[in-house]
Structure 1
């Protein structure tokens, strides 16, 4: 049978086979393309003695054994994007913070070889409407001004009470916002968080990496929003940088949260792949709430989507095949530096 993890696209008059799960691309000859079309129409005619069939099998385009793929509730567009951007292979994963700093600096220096994107320019003929200048009178404005991404955290523990408050306002259900029974919704759908949720489904879940929290053993916990408690998932946790594409400056973060999305919840209400955007947008809203709550408590925050999913997922012990990890946000007492000392030293 033909692999469900491949799609085909024409690039510069050449047919390309793209295996989005394995992150590999193959240029197909006329003979290979014609043979593949034949096998699509005649799946039982694979001949392992045929050189072309051998090549297609070796590349994973043709499967000899039955594929065991989980059902996907949306159409193929979102499946290609999700798995095509997951478990991205890295040629040179940094083993420590110094190695990360060298690679990152090389990357930044390479950017100057490309034209810098310009800000939008408007002609003088457009007069526009002047707006009043902003003011900073309320507490929210002050928190927004203080929020910034930092990459240098102090080796100082976080209080359990602080973590509890952050989790409750980020992922917990707020009694004051719960919809009344008279609305006709089941109990599970009447609950509300402080952040917007696509369809009110609360499809975002949180797994807390407790690295240095007073009163809490080191480990990875699932935050159960309904009961406001932590459930231990894993205790043997590698360094955080190994889970986040070698970003080892985050190793001493006292706490962080891996955000996942329950795609099956979204599938239940929204059948089109456009709802995949809802999963990403909701995680973004929740992550911002996490940052604002952390900032209000005097903590620095850092966030990343550079995940090593194949290393992270076994630690989360996900019970649902349709729950996928999408993002990470951490917080702790910080120096306020946007760049870690290792990178500043190289830059000097």
Structure 2
């Protein structure tokens, strides 16, 4: 609450005389308050979404894990701390008198895919083929030709293409950058996926330890391929002035991530996903050309080598 009051005061010109004010320093650290506006791009929504976006950027850990063992120990400690508190009370469970729905028929192919989709954290040093990767990327981010809108249907050429996943306002604000460590036919590196031409474009070399980009999740260091998902906020600002559209950016990326997961599962792979990113370290590797494009999420695929154990 103190941060909110101080921010309101600063907005309305009631500056802070204390140069060492802790609250103002917190706002500066989160880039909500800047010493100068030079070189900063404008934010297209109101200050609340900016506070949330910048304030939740880069998970700051006092002791970021430097190995898979350290991560596991810290995660176990965190889980034990959570379990020591009373859990939320479930509601509307076991209430009698409900309307019974018809039973499910024999499982079809889609049921089998959903049953196999699971989050795993065991990565094996087995390559994925470039053909498999291309198919997954096309399903997740590529354009479906038969769904393109014509001029008669009100389609604007720039936004006439459609993906298999829903997109806020049909703007296709989500972009994908592929982390390639073990793909047959591709040099290790980070590539931009061009959905217009179904092509990969080189961005930078892979980092020695992926876990350093993912808040110390070093079990991911052997991940063969992953997809960093970004959002083009400027597209959403163009059509939606209210910051509620920030929610749509996150929802759209969730749709794409789920499609990636299902496409990989159909291909016989296991999957993993995370939002625990160190964006400030990731962004230079992606070489983002637009200052209004922001890193949000990562999805990954791995060849299934052992029976799946569902964790998420």
What TM-score results when the alignment is normalised by the length of structure 1? 0.80
In structure 2, the residue matched to 1:71 is 42
Match of 1:96 in 2: 67
Match 1:186 to one of 144, 156, 164: 156
CA distance in 2, matches of 1:305, 1:72: 22
Contact 2:119 2:272 in 1 (8 A): yes
Listed one character per residue, the Cα deviations across residues 155-202 of structure 1 (whole Å, up to 9, x for unaligned) are 100010000000011100011111123224222211000000010000
The change in CA–CA distance for 1:248 and 1:77 in structure 2 (over 3 A counts) is same
Among 262, 265, 287, the alignment partner of 1:292 is: 262
1:87 aligned partner? 58
Structure 1 position 236, deviation (Å): 4.4
Residues 42 and 84 of structure 1, relative CA distance in 2, 3 Å threshold: closer
Say if 2:182 is the partner of 1:212. Answer: yes
Bigger radius of gyration: 1
Question: Which runs of structure 2 are paired with 1:7-22 in the superposition (5 Å)?
Answer: 9=1, 16-17=2-3
Distance 2:119 2:168 in 1: 26
Q: Please, which runs of 5 or more residues in structure 2 have no aligned partner?
A: none
Partner of 1:273: 243
Match of 2:84 in 1: 113
Q: What is the CA distance between 1:224 and its match in structure 2?
A: 0.5
SS at match of 1:293: helix
Over 3 Å counting, the alpha-carbon distance change for 1:175 and 1:41 in structure 2 is: closer
- Structure 2 residue 200 is matched with structure 1 residue 235: no
Deviation at 1:116, TM superposition (A): 1.9
- Report the equivalent of 1:250: 220
Residue 320 to residue 338, structure 1, CA distance change in 2 (3 Å): farther
Structure 2 distance, partners of 1:39, 1:200, is 34
Task: Return the offset for 1:306.
Answer: 0.3
What whole-Å deviation, never above 9, does each CA across 1:80-126 have from its counterpart, x for those lacking one? 111111112111111010111111111111122101223224575x5
Alignment length, in residue pairs? Answer: 303
Deviations 1:117-143 (A, max 9, x none): 23224575x511001122343211110
8 Å CA contact 1:57, 1:64 repeated in 2: no
User: What displacement does 1:38 show?
Assistant: 9.8
How big is the alpha-carbon RMSD for the aligned residues of Structure 1 and Structure 2? Answer: 2.6
TM-superposed CA distance for 1:314, in Å, is 0.5
Residue 40 of structure 1: how far off its partner (Å): 5.8
- Unaligned stretches of 5+ residues in structure 1: 1-8, 10-15, 19-27, 47-51, 341-348
What is the CA deviation profile of residues 264-304 of structure 1, one whole-angstrom value per residue up to 9, with x for unaligned ones?
A: 00111111001111100000000000000000010000000
TM-score normalised by structure 2 residue count: 0.89
Structure 1 stretches of 4+ with a deviation exceeding 6 A read 61-64
Distance 1:232 1:64, change over 3 A: closer
- Indicate the SS of the match to 2:3: strand
Secondary structure, counterpart of 1:310 in structure 2: helix
Query: 2-side partners of 1:70 and 1:161: how far apart?
Result: 39
Residues 1:58 and 1:157: Cα distance change in structure 2 (over 3 Å)? same
CA contact (8 A) 1:245 1:308 kept: yes
